[in-house]
Amino acid sequence: MLVLAWLIIIPLLGGLSAWISARWSDRWPRWISLTALAVDCVLLARIWTGVPEGLVPGAWIAEMNTPWIPQFGIGVHLALDGLSLVLVVLTLFLGILSILCSWTEIRERVGFFHLNVMAILAGIIGVFLALDLFLFYFFWELMLVPMYFLISIWGHENRGYASLKFFIFTQAGGLFMLLSILALYFIHGNRTGTYTFDYLHLLGTPLPPLAALWIMLGFLASFLVKLPAVPFHPWLPDAHTEAPTAGSVILAGLMLKTGAYGILRFVLPLFPEAAHVIAPAMLVLAVIGILYGAFLSFAQTDLKRLVAYTSVSHMGFVLLGIFAWNRTSLQGAVMQMLAHGVSTGALFVLAGLLQERLHTRDMDRMGGLWSLAPRLSGMALLFALASLGLPGFGNFVAEFLVLAGAFSADRVVTAFAAAGMVLAAVYSLWMVQRAFQGEARSALSLSDLSLRETGILAAMVIAILWLGLYPRPVFDTTRPVLNGLQYIIPSPRLDAQATPLPGFTGEERKREALP
Amino acid sequence: MTGRDVTALMPFLALLGTAVLIMLVIAFRRDHRTTMLVAVAGLAVAVAFLPGAAAQAPRAVTELVTIDLYGLYYTGLVVLATLVVAGLSYPYLAMHDLYREEYYLLLVTACLGSSVLAVSTQFVSFFLGLEILSVSLYALTAYHRHSRASTEAGIKYLILAAVSSAFILFGMALIYAASGSLSFSGITPDNGILAAAGLMMVLAGLGFKLAVVPFHFWTPDVYEGAPAPVAAFIATVSKGAVFSLALRLFSPLSHPGSSLFMIVTGVAILSMFAGNLLALLQQNVKRILAYSSISHMGYLVITLLTAGELRWSASAFYLAAYFITSLGAFGVVTALSTPERDADRLEDYACLAWRRPWLAAVFTAMLLSLAGIPLTAGFIGKFSLAAAGVGSGLWLLVVILVINSALGLFYYLRIVGAVFARPAETRREPGTLPTTSGAVLACLFLALVWVGTWPGPLMALIERVVRGLP
């Protein structure tokens, strides 16, 4: 199934041709990028419609595997299952919207801008598809450099500092993951004699408990920085605030999801016992993130910074859902990843539109915008409501499921997490009040949404309502994967034997045991 | 000496012949272009003889050198790097008012000395190679005769290198007195205190050449004062050849727990931290690259402590990647230099991306490779180092390697940030890049990306080279 490789190659080629085409006109890069992403959508739609009914856990919708660096047992192993599928859909959706929302915002070095955006998207798709740990790390790092350029070239006032901080935090986390990957590689290799980075081979490697814990912490160092969980979050407010709109949308909507995806795909299946041991701590960390993010967003006057802190709070729910570790909470976590991607993406688009018009993000200098730009303000209110978890929007479904699932895991933690939803109502409405309601300031002049901008936001409204009102397709698509995760019931005894995973690892290990 | 011996020696004889030929050419016709062409042709011939020599390997030719695949690999690396340096030097020398022709003579002899180091398995050839290399480098470093900085760098290098040679010589004498053999294989851990003291002295001397802490003090000054292409040569050829020898000499002796192991661990840790932390304080690009090279040698020294085949292959791969990267970085510095001074200030690179996009792209790629970011050779190099370290369970060193990689990002990204800074007005400067520099830099860039994305062929070659090494 070479089509998976094309999903990554097409955006890259599109980005390169966009870069070259900027010599002739500033319009070309935009259209080329859109076309490339549209082609990707068509490819993906063809895969999605071909999904057979009743997938068993561990079965892949599409898979490809060719050797890359045979000396190290590294292969280009890409595979798509329900979880990757919905996340790649989200990537393409937000990718197209971030190209569209930069249409008038980016006027300098347009070609290079689109090269970077497309390279980030290719890297993110690669992360969602890679099943070789080396390849995964490769894509993981690959998306950092273009994002660094995106922030440091097209960012706002404090871009140099923000981009450096972003790069160093994520890179440092990533390097610890690399060490863990290598440790796993050698432990597996010494045991079986097959040195490979292939995920399916490494699954179910029996690890001594202490080694498993340390190796897992290396992975978590990387994923918790990306997610982000408090206290690994300091890069986030700066990076989100200083990035151009497309950068903020991709950061919040997609890059944070790679952290959650990493935990779901690698941490839980590879280290079930260790993850079980650390789950209570992670639940506490999640709740701290939810409350801390909510409190801090309340204190912000910078609109983008406020939205950035709400991300910390919302991603806390994802972490909570993952480590509450039952079917309901896992479904909720995945739903939250999608809903947060859309709703926060939309809030960043709106903040970008205001910045483009008013040249400020300071809410103290806004106020009364509703009378000047009713459509824009209406959209802002709608997404503020979505973000606070009003029923009807995807965020409500997600947070409800997470809390319902977490309740059976830990009641106290769930109670605190639920308090986070109250705080969400406070900061969301406070934001609407300060920026959009009240007396209009005579000094402000503001044009309402253009047709293109209305289109972007309308697409996002449809998406968030769809997630809220008819979430079944998402559940159906991701259920096989999540059921597979849920079956990894951690055994009470924490000895060297890992619990076999139904579906694939059992067979894998049997295959290796054969001479 | 048989015909097969001669075939095995041909790459070295070709270098020797080139040096003599250049002398003759200069005597008859002093012309920059001709001399450069002779040097390049001679180096290319030496490379062409490598496969023939490899067919004879392993072969001990006289008692002085053993031509094996390992040595020939490093010889190839060294000669190719010299070729690149010659290409970079041509336009650089052309714009300076100097006697240009002898430069190539010195370059070829320095290359010869380095190649001898790569194939020597005993102390006499070791010392001969080292001195041929060092003496050529004294003159090359001070090649700007009228520049105070260059002369000062030359003197500094001369004095410190002479001291380090004295150390090595004394160390050799002690080892010989203890073991009764000049061959590396004659040293065993139970040679007693005399041999141990001798080894330490040799280690100190080699440490000076590699510029690892605490023997690194000369590096920033020499890099800053020496002409940019010579700095590239010192950073790559000289260090690479010496490292190949250090690995041959020390790796059988550094068992975990031995005092040598402890000392080398300390050297690695100190070099990593000192290189990266001191680089943070620098404003001068050549000095930043100097400190960065100190930290990179610190990373590389880790392979001296690892066990098994991975130590040979990881270091061979890492050095190849490091050669490409350093040559590329110094190549851009050389290409941007003016007759008045080398382009070593951070301001020289401000907004480069919008003034000279291609040079900026190459420079950025090289810096990212130094930082170890994917798609570049440096990433795979650092990966194989980390793999070697983890494979031998050197957790402390590997974690420090990781911390230092993050530290290093600060100063690499500071340069990248300057390169991509938004200028007040965009104006493209006319493309004044000379053809040779352009071609060389393009080749290095392609090699960087090739090795970074498709390292299989190089790894397969290295696998063949290191097969059978202890």
Per-residue pLDDT tens over the stretch A228-279: 998 999 999 999 999 999 999 999 999 999 999 999 999 999 999 999 999 9
| Alpha helices (H) in B180-308, listed in sequence order | 193-210, 218-225, 228-233, 239-250, 259-280, 285-305
Per-residue DSSP letter, A438 = S
Strands B65-67, B59-61: pairing kind: antiparallel
Contact between chains at B402 and A142 (C-beta distance less than 8 A): no
Confidence band for A442, pLDDT divided at 50, 70 and 90 = low
pLDDT above 90 as % of chain B: 77
**What digits encode the pLDDT tens for the residues B307-347?**
888 889 999 999 999 999 999 999 999 999 988 888 889 88
ipTM for the assembly: 0.90
Q: Which residue of A has its CA nearest to B404?
A: A172
- A97 contacts A460 by C-beta, under 8 angstroms: yes
Of the partner residues B374, B405, B417, the one whose CB lies closest to the CB of residue A160: B417
Pick the residue of B373, B403, B450, B463 with the most A CBs within 10 A to test the interface with A by mutation.
B373
Residue A108, pLDDT above cutoff 70: yes
Residue A500 pLDDT exceeds 60: no
Contact A172 B417 (CB under 8 A): no
User: In this prediction, what percent of chain A has a pLDDT beyond 90?
Assistant: 72
CB contact under 8 A, B402 and A160: no
Among A108, A112, A138, the residue to mutate for chain B (most B Cβ within 10 A): A138
The shortest C-alpha distance from B270 to chain A (Å) reads 20
Given a contact cutoff of 8 angstroms between Cβ atoms, the answer to whether A477 and A53 are in contact is no
User: What gap in Å lies between CA A392 and CA A469, rounded to an integer?
Assistant: 6
Residue from B379, B383, B410 whose CB has the most chain A CBs within 10 Å, to mutate: B383
Span B131-151, average pLDDT: 93
Closest Cα in chain B to A73: B456
Question: Is the model more confident about B374 or about A495?
Answer: B374
> Are residues A148 and B459, on separate chains, in Cβ contact within 8 Å?
no
* pLDDT band at residue A60 using 50, 70 and 90 as cut-offs: confident
A96 is written with which tokens? 């197209």
Q: H-type helices in A155-205, by residue range?
A: 159-192, 199-202
In the predicted model, what is the mean pLDDT of residues B64-89? 95
Distance CA A406, CA A435 (A): 35
For residue A163, give how far its alpha carbon lies from the nearest alpha carbon of chain B (Å).
9
Q: Residue B417 and residue A138: Cβ atoms within 8 Å?
A: no
CB contact under 8 A, A69 and B459: yes
> Chain A contacts of B387, Cβ < 8 Å?
72, 182, 185
* Mean pLDDT computed over every residue of chain A: 89
Is the pLDDT score of B250 beyond 90?
no
Distance from CA of B77 to the nearest CA of A (A): 21
Which residues of A fall within a CB distance of 8 Å from B406? Answer: 168, 171-172, 175
Q: Tell me the helices (H) and strands (E) count for chain A, helix number first.
A: 23, 2
Pick left, alpha or beta for residue A63 (phi over 0 → left; psi -120 to 50 → alpha; otherwise beta): beta
> 3-class DSSP state for residue A232?
coil
The closest alpha carbon to B414, from B294, B280, B290, belongs to B280
Interval B32-57: pLDDT, tens: 999 999 999 999 999 999 999 999 88
Give the span between the Cα atoms of A53 and A48, in whole angstroms. 11
- Residue B430 has what pLDDT? 61
Q: Inter-axis angle of helices A82-101 and A27-49, to 10 degrees?
A: 160
Tokens for A115, please give them.
């090269």
Exposed / middle / buried, residue A43 (Cβ in 10 Å: 0-12, 13-18, 19+) = middle
Query: CA-to-CA distance for B303 and B394, rounded, in angstroms?
Result: 10
Nearest chain B Cα distance for residue A116, angstroms:
13
Which helix (H) or strand (E) element contains residue B375?
none
Locate A336 and state its tokens.
Answer: 């939250």
Q: What is the pLDDT of residue A54?
A: 59
Closest CA to A269 of A499, A510, A507, A474: A499
- For the cut 80, the answer to whether the pLDDT of residue A1 exceeds it is no
Question: Would you give the DSSP letter of residue A365?
Answer: G
Give the pLDDT score at A492: 39
Scanning A359-450, the segments in alpha helix (DSSP H) are: 369-372, 374-388, 394-409, 411-436
DSSP string, B46-59: HHHHHHHHHHH-SE
**Statement: residue A507 has pLDDT above 70:** no
CA atoms within 13 A on the CB side of A84: 25
What is the per-residue pLDDT for A498?
A: 39
Closest-CA residue to B215 (of B170, B270, B289): B270
Give pTM, 2 decimals.
0.92
Over range A106-110, report the average pLDDT: 88
Q: What is residue A324's predicted lDDT score, i.e. its pLDDT?
A: 92
Contacts of B466 in chain A (CB under 8 A): none
Q: For B356, how many CA atoms within 13 A lie in the half-sphere containing its CB?
A: 20
Reply yes or no on whether the pLDDT at B425 is more than 70.
no
- Please give the structure tokens belonging to residue B256: 């975990």
Q: Does A20 touch chain B if contact means CB atoms closer than 8 Å?
A: no
Give the model's pLDDT for residue A244: 95
| Mean pLDDT, chain B, whole residue set | 92
Residue A369 in tokens: 């915008």
Residue B68: closest CA among B340, B316, B323, B432: B316
Interface test with A, best of B402, B412, B428, B454 (most A CBs within 10 A): B402
Distance CA A250, CA A435 (A): 24
State which residue of chain A sits closest to B402, comparing Cα positions: A175
Nearest CA in chain B to A137: B374
Which residues of chain A lie closer than 8 angstroms to B403, CB-CB? 172
Confidence band (pLDDT; 50, 70, 90) for B151?
very high
What pLDDT score does A515 carry?
33
Verify whether the Cβ–Cβ distance A175 to B373 is below 8 Å: no
